[in-house]
A and B are shown apart, each in its own frame.
Chain A
Amino acid sequence: MGELQHENATEALLTRHGAPRPASDWAENARRAARARMLALGAAGRRDEYWRYTNPAVLNAPEAPEAEILQLDEAPVFDGFDKLLITFVDGVYQPDLSDDLSGEGLEVSLLDEALDMDIHWAGELFGVLEAKGQHPVPRPFAALNTALAGQGVVIRATGKVSRPVALRYCRSELRSDVLIHHVIRVEAGAELTILENGAGAARLNTCMEVDVAEGGSFHHLRAQGRDHARLANTHIFARLGAESHFKSFTLTVNGALTRNEVVIDINGDNTKASVAGASLGDGDFLHDDTIFITHDAQGCESRQVFKKVLKNGATGVFQGKILVQPDAQKTDGYQISQALLMDDDSNFLAKPELEIYADDVACSHGSTCGAVDENALFYLMSRGVPRSEAQNMMIIAFLDEAIQEIENQAMADDIRSRLIGWAERHSA
């Protein structure tokens, strides 16, 4: 009986989005395989080890909740930067709101078009990195995404791409329930920056598969919009070749539920990976970072830097793992997750994990939560800084270790100004 219900719930998920535009055989095979994976995994449930802190019920529900669309009173994040803009409204590509899909050192196409063609490299990635990322931790919403997503971009960087590719996710419907899937390949020695901005949907499920070849460099910066009631479950699956660089930073302010999953496989020697995030929530807010980094090569460095500011009953979740395989000697793994609790109603749940099978490694992890340091607050105030401003200075200071993970200083400053904006809007 229970089994059957579970199966029905999974079936229901697979029917709630409608079918994407049919694609060529290889892509349809990949989708079918994802569907089978999804059925085998079953829907996410509270009993699953990595869904204990975050209740997936609202993500499993037949319909997306109604989420009011926030009218921005400021320029969008990354607005001031030269970029190749690609706009989706309610998860649908908008040619008239997008730039030409071309650029130096760059091949860009839309997912549904790419899946209908015979693009060799895309066939080796689409659904492949996602499938690999299902072990040992199941990620049913990612399989669902591969099985049913019809929108997204397929990008190949062949050289140093100077302009970032900016994916903008806008909203027009209150209850949009959206799947977006991106496939990205950074060729050997190539460089690519991807920006993502916007809430995108009342319920957004994104999946980004990223393959970085030897010596390639991939930077990802994301701001998840400011809409309050929206839900998001995002996935990044990355495979990193030797001497490559990978950096991903996410800014999350507001949102009833956000679950950001990042799965990184470090496959080549002397690679550097960093995943970082700053999230700020006030009231009805749950933010979950679930990270899994596998070191399967020598001399690699990985960093996880996550900071959360929580107030008025907001909840933060961090589940971060570093797995060091037996041959991954000289691994340098760093992980820190911290929450600043602005009151007693807010809480932070952390599950930091290290699993190490090599003997010559340096891994450190730390997880803390606490209130604003009263001594520091008094020190600032004793110099004439009013309490709310002093508190905001402390908030920004607390978050800065995560912001420092961003390589581009101008973009880091843009993010900083957003943090200040949030802190000012939400100061007591």
Chain B
Amino acid sequence: MTRLTRREFLRTSAAGAGFGFLAAGCAPAIKGDFAPKAGRRVVVVGGGWGGATAAKYVRLADPSIEVVLLEPNKQFVSCPFSNLVLSGVRSIDGLTFGYGGLRNHGVRIYHESASAIEPDTGRVRVGDGYLQYDRLIVSPGVEFQWEQVDGLAAAQDRVLHAWKAGPQTVELARQLAAIPDGGVFVLTVPPVAYRCPPGPYERACQVAFYLKTHKPKSKLIVLDANQNVVSKAALFRAAWKDYPNLEYRASNKVVKVDPSVREVTTDLGDRVKYDVVNLIPPQRAGTIAAQADLVGADKRWCEVNHLTYESVKHKNVHVVGDSTIGLPVPKSGNIANAMGKICAVAVVHLLNGKEPPAMAPGNTCYSWVNDREAIAVVNAYKIEGGKVVQIEQKLTPGQSAQWAQNADGWARSIWQDILG
């Protein structure tokens, strides 16, 4: 099997191989049906955890089906483990991968954004052009609700979320490293439902660990919109005993940010000064899902069939990953990967006129609490009456280096499962 490295990816894209001709900037204008469909075709929107997995597994399950993937980014940057970039324990390069493995499976990739979906005609719009599909799989991740925090929309360049791994992760790490000893780092947690329930608390651990090690007079204030730590609460609170520099305030929803005076305001009217702020905004399904009328009455998330991930609103359009709602599962990369596989198998069965098998996802979320120890939550599910039902949730008995090593094993396996 072909090895997939970032270097290899950069080489092929520099040579203009693959479908790079459509790359933004130097691309010929996309017009009309820019890739006429010959046989049966699945189009996938979004090459993240859910979409890249789905694209690969449709090809694995039935190589006679053409798969076209739309993804604006030329590289995949893993959100899992990206909190470790803040503390300097990992590098962003180690979390950055090319899409060469998917091309080796015969996935056609266009580094473009879908601009609209037309379920009636079975078309995905890309600027002035379009693609025809038999079935569509949408995995656009989350979009931020900037308007929910006063002053945030105008301050997007200075007030970072770092909730989509990439340049913001690197920039936030730089801001953290530049904080004066004695400075205050404010981290805000959005109300549920948001991407990666334990993610903000893992981040709190990594920031507190960094400050404790490098800026012992500094402190971290966590302003949580929720009433308690949303995931693995007892394990995180136990881990925080090692961080006297961490101050956790529950039920403190941030409603305003003012970078000119370096201050956030909570719904209780408290003003909190910061040297560095990391404001994780409230979230909803990726914009394309809302535009395509896949979201429900809440205008935030997409309801789907639990066996096929077909949208309850539009036929032949499937949604996986963080954009979905209604299953008793967290918005995690592990779940997005599981949904991608199950959806791919279901789509292939449907295109072949067969009944899709009933398959349940599984989930494991590891969280690093310092530079060498982790905790985890594991969920197993089954299908009952056509719905996903939890069998069991299990936590690690505490934090240890063993779970951190297992986390590393998980990451290696799952990155390969998505992109290899």
- Do A and B interact? no
